[in-house]
A and B are shown apart, each in its own frame.
Chain A
């Protein structure tokens, strides 16, 4: 038994960890388990206290890559980092990438992760051509949009419940190199943000905003937008890797540090050059440069709260949430607001809905934090929004059921040999 935590470090329970190898057969194992890749989901989705974890990180082989078509086939434990390093120099890039490249392909599929280009490219699952799934019975299911479609749609965003993903075939996107043309534009309230964001979506593939969650005078922030650049030849930037060596007993993100940091960050960026050529790593994965950044929240860990709000309520609900957060003076250095496009979801349980999504980190302040969450939950529920399972550690069951209306349909594909802390909390087993 080994102590395992997820990225939020809210718990560290004993787990019976099994490293999956190429020839393994889940049919021969006993006891309920859940697949575990890089452990980058924030809450309890990848955990199974006192039960089994199937670690997929030794399943890290590439299988094939077609330089002409950009179709990559690999095992599920390959990290997005490794794919980027392999394919970007060859002119191909992940069509959709989340905010960290330290995740496995299997995890990216199981959460149907999204990136800054949802309005143009949808989510990760939209670019998956085929999946190989192993059920705990030992049965192998190969599925895609064309064959075994129902298994495909249940497994994409299926948070590991339908089986263990062994192999993935991905359609990559043609790019001219690692560079992006980017622009940073300040905004001083939500109305301005939505105007700016909507206007940007026509010509910019990537859009995302940082907002100052401490601002009581309206959501001021910075919109960053970018497009893959063409014809730029520049030396690779030197990597500036920082490391947080250990967790302090208390969180460095607190009422003393929050306001000055956010104010400073906003004003420094307002001064900076608006147009820049950025390397994909600094644009897509700014936090990957700080190893173990999750430790800054101290020994008690942290929550990430990420909700999606439907388009018709995207102003009022986000406004109400931000006001609620500013009122209790909690929040984080990194509050992210972005829009989701009108795209048919790739999976039955996919998170993105046409509208907006707000994501914030919160130090674990126990009761105080949970009280704030229940007030935010009320706003999300009222707006018919939903909470992202990859981030969730505590949403109420009812909110989950209302937020994910295709849940019953999805449950038909559940593997009875699989269970996680999250599934027990939200599905009851």
Chain B
């Protein structure tokens, strides 16, 4: 029997990550869920176990904000077996207005959405480089493509992730380690469901987004917009001249 694929997911309770895992889990896989809250992680683990009893699902609870804990977590994960795929999916959608009013809020949003994913990627890259093998996937956001007044704190954290992945791609170019930036558009998930409540239209389903992500990763893409239409939409948004952009209320 071929060796089972080992997948590590940081932020294992993320809606998009869960949908990706359901796809990978159609074949027996080994998944380590790295989570902030073990009880929530348990629910995801049970779901995946029922869906494929041959998969091996582990949960690891950790702190996402402390560099030392990030490193020790990655070491713990790697000591149990080298991962084929690492998906870094955690994040938290902040309230832009609260970030403007309260620097603590802004700091927390910047760290969890920007600094923390980068630290995880950096720590995993080390081992992958040593083995000259592995695929790292980091979830950014279309919000990171151009700053907008309605969510630039979140956008700037995701912009940090984008620039980091770009630099890593440069560094990894001559190796067999791959890193891919995933930019989901607004997606219906536990992180965003309050947006749907506020009447936000056109939220993509996590299943639809996960399908694009898993396919794109298999094809070895370097940047994945999900759903795909966001590539075109963001191309346009990024090229709107400043004097017009400033008049648009987005």
Residues of A in contact with B (beta carbons under 8 Å apart) = 1-2, 16-19, 21-23, 55, 58, 61-65, 67, 74, 86
Contacts and interface: CB of A to CB of B under 8 A. Distances in A.
Nearest to A3: B199
Interface stretch (B40-48, B67-75, B155-163): B40-48
A176 to B, nearest CB: 20
Given A22-B40, A58-B188, A58-B190, A64 B46 contact: yes
Identify the 7 closest CB pairs spanning chains A and B, nearest first.
A19-B193, A62-B50, A61-B47, A65-B50, A21-B190, A62-B47, A18-B197
A105 to B, nearest CB: 14
Contacts of B15: 58
Contacts of A22: 40, 43, 190
Interface of chain B, main secondary structure: helix
A2 B40 contact: no
A21 B50 contact: no
Given A19-B197, A22-B40, 12 more contacts: A2-B201, A16-B197, A17-B197, A18-B197, A21-B193, A58-B188, A58-B189, A61-B44, A62-B47, A62-B50, A63-B43, A63-B46
Contacts, number: 44
Contact of A64 (B44, B50, B188, B201): B50
Contacts of A19: 188, 193, 196-197
A135 to B, nearest CB: 21
Contacts of B188: 19, 58
Contact of B50 (A2, A18, A55, A63): A63
Contacts of B44: 61
B53 A67 contact: yes
Which of B44, B51, B53 is packed against the most chain A CB atoms within 10 Å? Answer: B51
Interface string B180-194: 000000001110010
Contacts of A55: 196
Interface string B40-65: 10011011001101000000000000
Nearest to A73: B50
A23 B51 contact: no
Contacts of A23: 40
14 contacts: A1-B199, A19-B188, A58-B189, A61-B47, A62-B46, A62-B47, A62-B50, A62-B51, A63-B43, A63-B46, A63-B47, A63-B50, A67-B53, A86-B51
Nearest to A18: B197
Nearest to A86: B51
A21 B43 CA distance: 12
A65 B53 CA distance: 9
A58 B44 CA distance: 12
B142 to A, nearest CB: 21
Contacts of A65: 50
Interface in B1-59: 15, 40, 43-44, 46-47, 50-51, 53
A348 B53 CA distance: 38
A64 B50 CA distance: 6
B191 to A, nearest CB: 10
Contacts of B189: 58
Interface string B195-207: 0110101000000
A74 B47 CA distance: 9
Nearest to A20: B193
B210 to A, nearest CB: 13
A263 B249 CA distance: 58
A222 to B, nearest CB: 37
A50 to B, nearest CB: 13
B93 to A, nearest CB: 14
A208 to B, nearest CB: 31
B28 to A, nearest CB: 14
A61 B49 CA distance: 11
A296 B87 CA distance: 43
B23 to A, nearest CB: 13
A58 B43 CA distance: 13
A172 to B, nearest CB: 13
Nearest to B189: A58
Given A23-B40, A58-B15, A17 B47 contact: no
Contact of A2 (B46, B51, B199): B199
Contacts of B50: 62-65, 74, 86
Nearest to B53: A67
Contacts of B190: 21-22, 58
A17 B196 CA distance: 7
B176 to A, nearest CB: 36
Interface in B71-104: none
From A62, A67, A74, residue with most partner B Cβ within 10 Å: A62
Q: Which of A1, A16, A61 has the most CB of B within 10 A?
A: A61
A364 B30 CA distance: 53
Contacts of A16: 197
A278 B22 CA distance: 29
A23 B43 CA distance: 11
